[in-house]
Copies of this chain bind each other. A is one copy, B any other.
């Protein structure tokens, strides 16, 4: 009973951090809580949010995906290339693009699962190689000139709610559903917690890894498409460094990097915290060098606090 309370409190703690930040930023600049700004903020983090679903699964397995940023870039380029240089139908381009990103994820899965490489190395290799490929395809130049229709994913609205925010919300819902209601979710926790035991319980761990990396690739691809639509221009470096932003969202959200523990709701909070920080600090007119420091310190404090809690509880 007591342990349940402690756990719930822990899961809630990250929301308290979020509330605290919101209060601070609101005091500094009341515009922060303007509904308009909140929607802007949500739209700004939508790409992180979407990509974080797959990253959450990967991290739950105790692995990591450093290729997310490159997949976003690569997808940016090929989707733009399909539509602009090949004049492909928008939907077809999107489907092919998502397919491609999933296949890159499968490649990660292959290296991690079949070859047995540590995820950090495998996905870093993919990151490096596909960055080069994206640059070759684009020749280093941005690709633009999409149809108006394509703008809807990143710039459209349903009522007053921006479409990317809706996509993000749907992704979070889907992620939460997969984790809590399907057997895949149970498997992720089992594999992340004790891979040997999971294997001997009949879980095809290899396939689960393929699946999870493919999912991670897929969501990175989706984030890439939303980004492309949002900025209306495909750049081969668009996703550079995104993986760490996404990892930060996930880890802030309380997902254990050693695998086996974490919740989707925490990741939602983690994502919002990053959004609030990025948005709020600009509203507060904080020097961009100082912003780096704040980001580092917040990450250290949030995760550090969590770790100290855990340590204390363990004794």
Contact = CB atoms under 8 A, between A and B. Distances in A.
Interface in A282-315: 287, 289-297, 299-300, 303-304, 307-308, 310-311
Nearest to A297: B129
Given A126-B300, A129-B295, A297-B129, A120 B289 contact: no
A126 to B, nearest CB: 7
A292 B131 contact: yes
How many chain copies does the complex carry? Answer: 2
A55 to B, nearest CB: 13
A100 interface: no
Interface core residue of A117, A120, A136, A287 (most chain B CB under 10 Å): A117
Nearest to A312: B116
B121 A290 contact: no
A132 B258 contact: no
B124 A299 contact: yes
A115 B304 contact: yes
B304 A111 contact: yes
20 contacts: A111-B300, A116-B310, A117-B304, A117-B307, A118-B303, A121-B299, A122-B303, A124-B244, A124-B299, A125-B299, A128-B292, A128-B296, A129-B293, A129-B295, A129-B297, A132-B290, A132-B291, A132-B293, A132-B294, A136-B287
